[in-house]
Structure 1
Amino acid sequence: MRFSAVIVNYASWPHTLRCVESLLGAGDPEIVVVDNDREEPPELPEGVRLLRNPENLGFARACNRGLRTSSGEIVVFVNPDVIVERDFFERLGEFFCGAPQAGVAGPRIVDGTGALQLSARREVNLASGLLGRTSLLTRAFPKSRLVRRMFPAAGEPGAPVAVDWVSGACLAARREVLEELGGFDERFFMYFEDADLCRRARQAGWKVFYLPRVQVVHHTGASSGDRTRAILRLHKSAFLYHRKHGPHGPFGIYDLLVLLGLCARAGVRLAGTLRPQGE
């Protein structure tokens, strides 16, 4: 089984080089780096393809460009700040070969300290708006029934489990699925393009799986850039996702309520960025 790995770089070359090194150490994948940055890139290992964009086109558009120039049966979209383990492609290949109904899959993701990241999720709803992956409620009650239901990874399953959505920090998909769906929806500049892709895959009859025995390390935030801009983009994408997939209600009343809720949530997050250090 032939693998392609697509990395989108933006102001994160040191992380991108480490990611490339880990991918090469795990097998012989085709690697495509799509550069959204204007800085002069460093020299890449032989065989790694570099595609440079004239400006920051966003994550979804950059991923699609990398997809179109790759050829692997399985395409792995991986963030620059992710390090894969040496058995990554071996275990991933074993899973896809044994699960013909699987269209998309995501590995177990831990941070630099080894702490589990809740990368496998159920469908977006009101509860997920309150129970974000890093929200106070989720961190306070990580083993609660509600958290385990919203985030299947929290239950630490021992075998692959079907889920609604896996994180785009490291997401593997069959090429035939990606071609059937037309890749990522490029209206999502950043965030929620993974949820949208997984939802469309499920609607097309494919399954999405969380793979607890395939592990990567994700140094969260190393390539996210300006935090204020990231918060605004996150909530803008959340509203786009609702507009595309959620109920609208009579006279668009649900849209208005969701918009107000997201604005309030973004305001709280932005206020936190203005808090003086040390408080």
Structure 2
Amino acid sequence: MTRPPDEGVELSICISYYDAPDYLSRCLNSIRNSDTRCKYEILVVDDASPRPCTEAVTAVFSDACVIVNSENLGYAKANNLLIDTAAGHFVLVLNCDTQILPGALDAMVAYLNKHPDAGAVGPKVLNDDGTLQPQCRRGFLSPLSSFAYSVGLDRLFPHNRALGEYLLRYVNPEETHEVQSLSGACMMVRREVIEQLGAFDETLVQYSEDLDWCYRITAADWHVVYLPKAEVIHSGGKGGTNIRFFRSLYYYHRNPWIIFCRYPRNRFFPLYGWLIALMVLTRFSIASLRLLWGERRVGTRKGSAH
């Protein structure tokens, strides 16, 4: 059950934290300096971090709500705790390794207020060097687009709609447009959507929770929208969970396969389905062997994590 909305709070900013105090302080200060005019509240969950964050949070926002977990729950469960506590009409899920650029929050709130059929909106998410993180605006994970993404064909033929459908490489990133999924690093969701559909699927663990949530939102006939006039910087891979690396690697490959099988569009392509399964198994096996040889950063792409 979510908390009843507070008429005085328009936006609840929910931040999940694990062992990245410098990034969290930078994130909080970016919010404070973002010239946000709507009334908002700050909620942070310390997911059993070895370096607590309560003092760092209250040093920037003295009235912030801080939840301290006794054990590490992971991305989905930790964020769901915050979402259940949130009192705003809109809920922003925000990674602690992000920086909110001026005007971004007001732009997203204004869009949702102006478009009542929009269930969620997300900003243009940038890397530290200012380049776009393409996972902030995703299309449908079809059999062909999944295959093209996995083997890199979408990057070789970015203007091909069939091959580039997943990361929408053929769509101008400077234009507002409807998408199938946003980035869990920063996405704003309407309270009515949460009351209707719930929040993150806690069975997925660490990867693809945002993909699944957005797919459920669009399946319920809400619009999910990418709004490039709102910009956020995401460092990526900081302050996540304490899940061991091999398990993280496993979930990185397992969860997209679950998403791929979960939605009806993919059930009509059994041959493609088996091909994707074989490809996922092969990539996981190769990444595991590389891990045994001491390579720690395998299996993921820059900006692909929450």
Shorter-chain TM-score: which interval?
0.7 to 0.9
**1:172/1:51 CA distance change after superposition, 3 Å:** same
Tell me the distance in 2 between the aligned counterparts of 1:228 and 1:136. 24
How far the C-alpha of 1:242 sits from its partner, in A, is 3.3
Tell me the distance in 2 between the aligned counterparts of 1:248 and 1:154. 26
Per-residue CA deviation, residues 236-255 of structure 1 (Å, 9 max, x unaligned), is 212332343255579x9877
**Matches for 1:68-83 after TM superposition, within 5 Å:** 68-83=84-99
How large is the Cα RMSD of the aligned pairs? 2.8
Per-residue CA deviation, residues 107-128 of structure 1 (Å, 9 max, x unaligned), is 1011000011102111112233
Tell me whether 1:223 sits opposite 2:206 in the alignment.
no
Per-residue CA deviation, residues 23-69 of structure 1 (Å, 9 max, x unaligned), is 22223521111121342414122112111112121211111100011
How far the C-alpha of 1:137 sits from its partner, in A, is 4.1
**1:21/1:192 CA distance change after superposition, 3 Å:** same
The answer (yes or no) to whether the contact 2:145–2:164 under 8 Å persists in 1 is no
**1:228/1:3 CA distance change after superposition, 3 Å:** same
The equivalent of 1:34 in structure 2 is 45
Tell me whether 1:245 sits opposite 2:256 in the alignment.
no
**Matches for 1:16-55 after TM superposition, within 5 Å:** 16-26=24-34, 27=36, 28-42=39-53, 43=55, 44-45=57-58, 46-55=62-71
Tell me the distance in 1 between the aligned counterparts of 2:240 and 2:158. 25
What is the aligned residue count? 275
TM-score (norm 2): 0.79
The answer (yes or no) to whether the contact 1:75–1:175 under 8 Å persists in 2 is yes
Q: Per the alignment, in what secondary structure is the counterpart of residue 123 of structure 1?
A: coil
**Matches for 1:6-21 after TM superposition, within 5 Å:** 6-21=14-29
Which range is displaced more, 101-110 or 145-154? Answer: 145-154
The equivalent of 1:160 in structure 2 is 176
Tell me whether 1:267 sits opposite 2:296 in the alignment.
no
The answer (yes or no) to whether the contact 2:108–2:122 under 8 Å persists in 1 is no
2:109 to 78, 89, 93: 93
Residue 259 of structure 2 aligns to which amino acid in structure 1? Y
Tell me whether 1:122 sits opposite 2:139 in the alignment.
yes
Per-residue CA deviation, residues 164-218 of structure 1 (Å, 9 max, x unaligned), is 1111111110011011101111111111111111111111110111111111011
**Matches for 1:154-233 after TM superposition, within 5 Å:** 155-224=171-240, 227-233=245-251
Residue 166 of structure 1 aligns to which amino acid in structure 2? L
Tell me the distance in 1 between the aligned counterparts of 2:31 and 2:169. 24
The answer (yes or no) to whether the contact 1:101–1:207 under 8 Å persists in 2 is yes
TM-score (norm 1): 0.86
How far the C-alpha of 1:271 sits from its partner, in A, is 4.2
Residue 99 of structure 2 aligns to which amino acid in structure 1? I
The sequence identity of aligned pairs, in percent, is 29
The answer (yes or no) to whether the contact 2:182–2:226 under 8 Å persists in 1 is yes
How far the C-alpha of 1:261 sits from its partner, in A, is 2.7
Tell me the distance in 2 between the aligned counterparts of 1:227 and 1:25. 35
The answer (yes or no) to whether the contact 1:153–1:210 under 8 Å persists in 2 is no
Q: Per the alignment, in what secondary structure is the counterpart of residue 237 of structure 2?
A: coil
Tell me the distance in 1 between the aligned counterparts of 2:121 and 2:284. 29
Which range is displaced more, 188-197 or 108-117? Answer: 188-197
The answer (yes or no) to whether the contact 2:142–2:166 under 8 Å persists in 1 is no
Tell me the distance in 1 between the aligned counterparts of 2:161 and 2:87. 42
Where in structure 2 are there 5+ consecutive unaligned residues?
A: 1-8, 296-306
The answer (yes or no) to whether the contact 2:98–2:185 under 8 Å persists in 1 is yes
